[in-house]
Structure 1
């Protein structure tokens, strides 16, 4: 099978938007990007990112913060954008995604505020103490088919080629480490290379760290903030996610995404509701 390209892949088709009028976009949320029959939060963030990238004078997401208000389901949706401010190097916008409920009411699913710029115009100077995650070679990591199949719908996993670090996959065979860590190699199943929009998905694509804490069930995102630091090089990504604190029924997940050139290309933090067993 030919490798999919940026702009012509299942991810691009699933996050496609159509301009209806200035600032208003129509979208079709794909059933192929769902977890437990609900659209994945990173998938939604990527779709919203496309709408803002089209509406704003700058094309690349730098900082994107989303509040998830109600679960999004496959089907028609409308994205409405507002330009908050435009400057020479950064522009800021706001976007909301709406779906029509069974009773005909329009329901807001999530709201995003984001700053956009031009990644290729950033200086090359890098001063960092961050190091790529120590993940074994891809061939020594474990596919998402390890262990018994999880109950419910996990359609999104069929569109990804993830290989999970064996040290963080014990939960799949009933032996979670309790550390709250998840690490994996990340690629699209159709071979599409990463770009800034796909990084918005990547930070929320791995199994939740709550699995490694010994919890089972849906871990819905309440808020997710993502920083895109650089345009990723072609090839597989390495993703490391950790949770340090679960309290009051909520947990945080801190993610780092590294590209094939050993550069930190994305960071995120999300607040999620802990599974209710």
Structure 2
């Protein structure tokens, strides 16, 4: 793709002014090109980095926002899977979407997030997404579950990011965009004593007061430190694939988020996530496959 295809049109890029909403809304903003329906420009903010790349949850939410516009009136992600092909960098990006099928209750679409590579003069694909969308406001209230919300101390008794090791914070700009309070039972790794269980959980909200919605849940499923920390394995844990299921519209207030793994083998591990809202409802679930830190 030609160099002008990404971030070159000054009239087509997203608006990042104060009217765009919260930091999350600005960080995941997209604007459709007038001359290319289904193609959206975006700007990846360095404030959402974790390690060298932009956080995978933020990228999934950004692609998810483009699909919510492309598949309207089906604006809510029910199931969304992302394959992370290369590490995304701060700067201009483009999301190219396709409406695969438009149905009465569900629609399916795909999205490809790309960035211009000055070395080759071409676009390089960062993320490939396939998703089914619907309308969560029309969801029935028939819920039958054996799942129970995680037990943890209230947020004021949990550990905020300000207590994280400085060397970790230096590699996690993302944490400056979140109000994250980790369960004290799951932070032994920060003191040099990981439990070895492979579980991290805590409370999550956005510090500017923006309430959770389905797109914010896509960020939430990848917002906690990797469970490899609780196994005593530190460093970047690149996501290979992440699938999220959004089960209900979340109620306002804090989210409770749990991450756990049961199997690390051959240099890969799975990471299962549950997100519970302030009404003790399981509003999102995810599983990702990631590379064990070297």
Which of 97, 100, 103 aligns to 2:113? It is 97
Alignment of 1:144-159 (within 5 A): 144-151=161-168, 152-159=170-177
Which of 36, 50, 68 aligns to 1:35? It is 50
Which of 65, 74, 89 aligns to 1:73? It is 89
Which of 67, 83, 86 aligns to 1:52? It is 67
Matched with 2:188 is 170
Matched with 2:157 is 140
Which of 27, 31, 37 aligns to 1:14? It is 27
Specify whether residues 39 and 273 from structure 1 end up closer, same or farther in structure 2 by C-alpha distance, changes over 3 A only.
Answer: same
Which of 13, 19, 24 aligns to 2:39? It is 24
Answer whether contact 1:6 1:193 (CA < 8 A) is retained.
no
Cα distance between partner residues in 1 of 2:155 and 2:236: 27
Matched with 2:102 is 86
Gapped runs of 5+ residues in structure 2? 1-17
Matched with 2:80 is 64
TM-score by length of 1: 0.96
Task: Say whether residues 1:207 and 2:220 are aligned partners.
Answer: no
Which is bigger in relative contact order (C-alpha 8 A, separation at least 6)? 1
SS at match of 1:47: helix
Query: By how many angstroms is 1:147 displaced?
Result: 4.5
Gapped runs of 5+ residues in structure 1? none
Query: By how many angstroms is 1:234 displaced?
Result: 0.4
- Give aligned pairs, total: 272
SS at match of 2:26: helix
Answer whether contact 1:31 1:155 (CA < 8 A) is retained.
yes
Matched with 2:270 is 252
SS at match of 2:244: strand
Which of 133, 151, 168 aligns to 1:116? It is 133
Cα distance between partner residues in 1 of 2:230 and 2:163: 14
Query: By how many angstroms is 1:232 displaced?
Result: 0.4
Which of 127, 133, 140 aligns to 2:144? It is 127
Query: By how many angstroms is 1:7 displaced?
Result: 6.2
TM-score by length of 2: 0.90
Task: Say whether residues 1:267 and 2:285 are aligned partners.
Answer: yes
> RMSD over aligned Cα, in angstroms?
1.3
